[in-house]
Chain A
Amino acid sequence: MTPVLDIKGLTTEFRVKNGWHAAVRGIDLSVNANETLAVVGESGSGKSVTALSTLRLLPQTGARISRGEVGFGGRDLTKLSEREMSRIRGNDIAMIFQEPMTSLNPTMTVGDQIAEGLLIHRGMSRTEAAKEARRLLDEVRVPDPARRVNDYPHQFSGGMRQRAMIAIALACRPKLLLADEPTTALDVTVQAQVLSLLDDLKRDRGMAIVFITHNLGVVAQIADRVAVMYAGEIVETATCDTLFADPVHPYTEALLKAMPRVDRKAESLEPIPGSVPSISARPAGCVYAPRCNYVQPSCAAHPSLVPVGGNHEARCPVRADKGEAA
């Protein structure tokens, strides 16, 4: 099966004080139809930049995609013109953002905001689009959609706004959905509802989802496959079950140990010391080495992502053997 999205060697750089520094460094990612790929990592690991690069929504100045390709529907999105990109945005690829409170236009009704994509890409009439907006609000389980469609965002709660965002994203039946921490700003109960909603929609429509999060609990609930990012690189990728059962990269292991679980005492949580190095101060060898418990002299050389069995890959020569043994 050809993947819906196939990113190869993507490098995105930002200008910091007159120098260009990579926020995302040569990453490979692919996701198939009817599959949810979770991209996990701490703040500053390059998850959001990856998604924004895919849709080419990076700031127009001070950011650039310097290498690699973003394969979608047989085309390389990095080569398209702005006009061609705008035909893909919201139509074939949609994106949901982290902040439902600020991501909706406060001076447009929710219905108009949902209908807008339909007017642009589907050439619907206003009445058709309004009707479809109502149906979409119903589909994302907003109660009383016939009335709610005329509401403004400030009349919606946080959870409802995120549902409205999902309705906007799904309006044109995209093949790929980029969800950038869509549940982070929500209450846990609302979060669970939104996750199950996304999961249902994926199955009903055979959509491919790239789900960006820093929350491993969310990953366990929704992901088929996981890519762990650290300092702009993918350090480990595996199916969801494999990753949780048998993490290879020390960073993945540390993330799992830092995750609270009901079957363990809170004292057993191990926070990872230090933080992700800033993009202008990335170490030359293994980027995780300064925070790693297993560090060896060989870590001074930059490791590459190697298979450790099945579809499981990790960027750690020190621990790769452990993976193969398992």
Chain B
Amino acid sequence: MIRYVIRRLLLAIPTLLAMLTMVFVLVRLVPGDAAVSMLGDQASEQALDALRARLGLDQPIHVQYLTFLGDMLRGDFGTSMSSGRSVLSEVWQVLPYTLELTAAAMVIGVLFGLPLGTFAALYRNRWPDYTTRLLSLTGLSFPGFVSGILMLLAFAVWLRWLPVMSSASSDPLTHMRNLALPALNLGLIMTAYITRVTRSSMLNVLGEDFIRTARAKGVRPGPLVMRHALRNALIPIVTVVGLYFGTLIGNSVLTEIVFTRPGLGKLILGALQSRDYTLLQGLMVIFAAFVILVNLLTDLIYAAVDPRVSYAK
């Protein structure tokens, strides 16, 4: 198990390197001059040059690249150009909000998606199945920011049940109320997704021979689904949900912006608007590293679900 984790982490290095290179190139492809955007177009040529020298932007591109790689690998993500604080501390400050949001969305997705998908599979090609499929398709085809705005209109503006702005609060109740709408928005997308995957995976498993064996043993429909079908159906579900995690983070960015909620999303938007290269590239690296980590976690969950998977060797 430990050896497997180490091997997987080593395998992540080339992925990480490719990702870092891409981030480096992408950031430099963004049109506009960082120094100009930081100091404004009224700045003197000397001031601009001085800033470029301080940021290392006057160096040849390959030197910039190597310095960048070295810094990243040491965990030094630099200082934010706009705030002057270290990128890491900027990220640490808002990361809990994003983690909380994605975790809540994941919980909502699993809590509703698994039963709904199972329900649809059990009533295949009958009205509960059609209804569930229609709903999940709607959920999937709705862009997160559109559904977010609609939910804001409905629950915050018209019904006035929940706040429009989901800013931070030290009061736990207010905190939960603030979390509710964004989490629901993201969670519904997740639910739609998990429902679809669960339905198709469940249908596959319900057609398996061992389900017939279980029925021949006298296992009732309830335990048949819970004990025999669900666990086997989980294997593909875990894979797909793990893969979807990257998209979930992307969606959380949009959700945070729509609900004016602190988090990585707002940080990214700010970095983009102020052309804060260092913050931007630091964020991209952290996001990507996160996705790689989740993929590793997904592989480890397999072993817990499927006894045929062993990481011993």
| Chain A nearest CB, measured from B272 CB (Å) | 46
Contact of A90 among B209, B218, B232, B306 (CB under 8 A): B218
Q: How many residues of B contact A (CB 8 A)?
A: 20
Most chain B beta carbons < 10 A, residue from A88, A95, A109? A95
Complex Cα distance A74/B104, Å?
57
Contact of A106 among B214, B217, B219, B307 (CB under 8 A): B307
Say whether, besides A103-B209, A105-B228, A106-B210, A90 and B216 are in contact (CB < 8 Å).
yes
Say whether, besides A102-B208, A103-B209, A57 and B216 are in contact (CB < 8 Å).
yes
Is the C-beta of A99 less than 8 angstroms from some C-beta in chain B? yes
Show the binding face of A for B, using Cβ within 8 Å.
55, 57, 83, 86-91, 94-95, 97, 99, 102-109, 116-117, 120-121, 152, 154, 165, 168-169
- A116 surroundings in chain B (CB, below 8 A): 214, 217, 219
Q: Are A103 and B213 in contact, CB atoms less than 8 angstroms apart?
A: yes
Complex Cα distance A117/B228, Å?
13
Complex Cα distance A106/B235, Å?
11
B200-224 interface with A by 8 A CB criterion: 208-210, 212-220
- B209 surroundings in chain A (CB, below 8 A): 97, 99, 102-103
Complex Cα distance A95/B210, Å?
12
Q: Are A107 and B212 in contact, CB atoms less than 8 angstroms apart?
A: no
| Chain A nearest CB, measured from B224 CB (Å) | 10
Q: Are A107 and B306 in contact, CB atoms less than 8 angstroms apart?
A: yes
Q: Residue of A at shortest CB range from B224?
A: A86
30 contacts between A and B (CB under 8 A): A55-B216, A83-B220, A86-B219, A86-B220, A87-B218, A88-B218, A89-B215, A89-B216, A90-B217, A90-B218, A91-B218, A94-B217, A97-B209, A99-B209, A102-B210, A103-B213, A104-B210, A104-B213, A105-B213, A105-B228, A106-B232, A106-B308, A107-B231, A108-B228, A116-B214, A117-B217, A120-B217, A120-B218, A152-B308, A154-B308
Q: Residue of B at shortest CB range from A178?
A: B216
Complex Cα distance A106/B307, Å?
7
- A165 surroundings in chain B (CB, below 8 A): 213
| Chain A nearest CB, measured from B129 CB (Å) | 12
Contact of A86 among B208, B218, B307 (CB under 8 A): B218
Complex Cα distance A195/B214, Å?
23
| Chain B nearest CB, measured from A188 CB (Å) | 23
Q: Which 9 residue pairs spanning A and B have beta carbons closest together?
A: A90-B218, A90-B217, A89-B218, A102-B209, A152-B307, A105-B210, A95-B216, A103-B209, A107-B231
Q: List 16 additional contacts besides A102-B209, A120-B218, A168-B213; criterion CB under 8 Å.
A: A55-B216, A86-B215, A90-B217, A94-B216, A94-B217, A95-B216, A97-B213, A102-B208, A102-B210, A104-B213, A105-B232, A106-B210, A107-B305, A108-B228, A121-B218, A154-B308
| Chain A nearest CB, measured from B70 CB (Å) | 47
- B228 surroundings in chain A (CB, below 8 A): 105, 108
| Chain A nearest CB, measured from B121 CB (Å) | 13
Most chain B beta carbons < 10 A, residue from A86, A91, A94, A109? A86
- B227 surroundings in chain A (CB, below 8 A): 108
Say whether chain B's binding surface is mostly helix, strand, loop, or mixed. helix
Q: Residue of B at shortest CB range from A92?
A: B218
Most chain B beta carbons < 10 A, residue from A88, A106, A120, A168? A106
- A86 surroundings in chain B (CB, below 8 A): 215, 218-220
Complex Cα distance A57/B214, Å?
11
- B212 surroundings in chain A (CB, below 8 A): 57, 97, 103
- A94 surroundings in chain B (CB, below 8 A): 216-217
Q: Residue of A at shortest CB range from B215?
A: A57
Complex Cα distance A120/B218, Å?
7
Q: Residue of A at shortest CB range from B220?
A: A86
- A168 surroundings in chain B (CB, below 8 A): 213, 217
Complex Cα distance A105/B230, Å?
11
Complex Cα distance A19/B294, Å?
51
Most chain B beta carbons < 10 A, residue from A86, A99, A105, A117? A105
Q: Are A154 and B218 in contact, CB atoms less than 8 angstroms apart?
A: no
Q: Residue of A at shortest CB range from B124?
A: A61
Complex Cα distance A24/B227, Å?
33
Q: Are A105 and B307 in contact, CB atoms less than 8 angstroms apart?
A: no
Q: Residue of B at shortest CB range from A109?
A: B307
- A83 surroundings in chain B (CB, below 8 A): 220
Most chain A beta carbons < 10 A, residue from B213, B217, B219? B217
- B308 surroundings in chain A (CB, below 8 A): 106, 152, 154
| Chain A nearest CB, measured from B126 CB (Å) | 9
